Chain A
């Protein structure tokens, strides 16, 4: 039987709240999405100029990954090839696609165009953290915990990865939700087993 994998940390961003490992770290209920995301960036005193170039999907996913890895991930613990990312969402890059489509009526914007793919958010997280492992992005109607578990366990159990960030990052206009999990083979004092029940519980935090 295969060894169990473990959720080392989680981050959920939804409805003006930022949760880390189930604990509310930041709240801002009054801003629109772009303003809310910027307030997260400022609250955690992040310093990454490229943030300002990103579309909202990448901003949301990138911020969630920053909070997820904060205090729970040691940079030199794994080789770049040993860390991967598996994400899913419902609306692909449609939020930015629509903005690009509107811009193309006048002059098509190169800076919007380069975000017209959902997996760009994975690229942004990988570039930031120098992750070079396997990655995949899936478009699904709803969050499918069983599917995520099959994908991630395959990568970890076959020693393709040692750590995997997985979960859901979805944006469309003012709707947004991110739920990320850092999953590793090792167990820690605060880790919980990587099971459908546990990730669904965290996903439904609010």
Chain B
């Protein structure tokens, strides 16, 4: 039953690209996705930078073919999930036991915000179709229908580790022989709700974020979606091209420290990384690259840094936060960065941590700042740590 779980396809959309190819090009050219707010209608326009997907809802509707009232969360999801499924090109897909495990945190909040503008002014007004798909699970159902997945679908919402947990859960569905193929990942669109919420927590940087820098001041919110196609060993053997890699380790651990903040010593992060290593049977020195959670908030980076130090000292692998490109895409970040980690193994890439200047005083290491290509990477760790101390680490290994 303990068959390994293989990654057969990947798809991603974020502020730095509409597909995998555009992402690789943006990484290589050091092109970050943050900028002034252009699409989101908010009072913070011109004040707070965000990393928007540079496509209007109208353009996304044209690309996806979904109905005009569809939430941006589902629109982004379908773009990336479709790319992943096409990339995997699984023979006889219809005959297999298939699943869709999708994470998000905002659901249809973007449309609900539109509804409430009219509704609050006059309780007899407001279009109910704008709140009909408010809940997170609706997004999963819309996209699963489009992908033709009917055997199994579920939605996971655990803040910023949501989509890493979706991948983790999908792997268990395959390992326990419940499904043959799972498209797993997550999606989140920018909304007033999240921008105002993070602004209230005073953890947004008014400039472009500087993860793991001594003078980091907060995160930039982003949006996007990323999916992996996970397949069993049996399905992997039927593919016409080699798989990207295996998912060899995963763990979820909780700080139980504060509603939003991590414990200062990064207990949850440490346990997640350690647990994932144990699961994969690897030692810290086997890890060739860490895609850090690295939000750029003082709290996350010092807690994550302390945990990395505790586990890896004195031999640190190259590491970086790709949130310096995409911003923090919340529920989508775990799977977007899982896609990056898979691509890192496939293409031998270590991504640069943009805008890094000064090493954090309490840490004996600093993130990688250059784009490195053509390096043999056998094992890559991807960290996703969420509010409430919900910490997940994934490890991808060369197949």
Contact = CB atoms under 8 A, between A and B. Distances in A.
A44 to B, nearest CB: 24
Contact of A113 (B201, B256, B257, B258): B201
A126 B256 contact: yes
Interface of A: 104, 108-110, 113-115, 117, 120, 123, 126-127, 130, 132
Interface in B221-280: 256-260
Contacts of B123: none
Contacts of A110: 200-202
B200 A108 contact: yes
Contact of A123 (B199, B202, B259): B259
A114 B202 CA distance: 12
Given A104-B200, A113-B201, A115-B259, 11 more contacts: A108-B196, A108-B200, A110-B201, A110-B202, A114-B258, A114-B259, A114-B260, A117-B259, A120-B259, A127-B256, A127-B257
A132 to B, nearest CB: 8
Interface residues of B, number: 12
Contacts of A115: 259
Nearest to A120: B259
Q: Which of A120, A127, A130 has the largest number of chain B CB atoms within 10 A?
A: A127
B197 interface: yes
Interface string B180-202: 00000000000000001101111
Contacts of B257: 127
18 contacts: A104-B200, A108-B199, A108-B200, A109-B200, A110-B200, A110-B201, A110-B202, A113-B201, A114-B201, A114-B258, A114-B259, A114-B260, A115-B259, A123-B256, A126-B256, A127-B256, A127-B257, A132-B256
Contacts of A104: 200
A127 B200 CA distance: 24
A182 to B, nearest CB: 21
Contacts of A120: 259
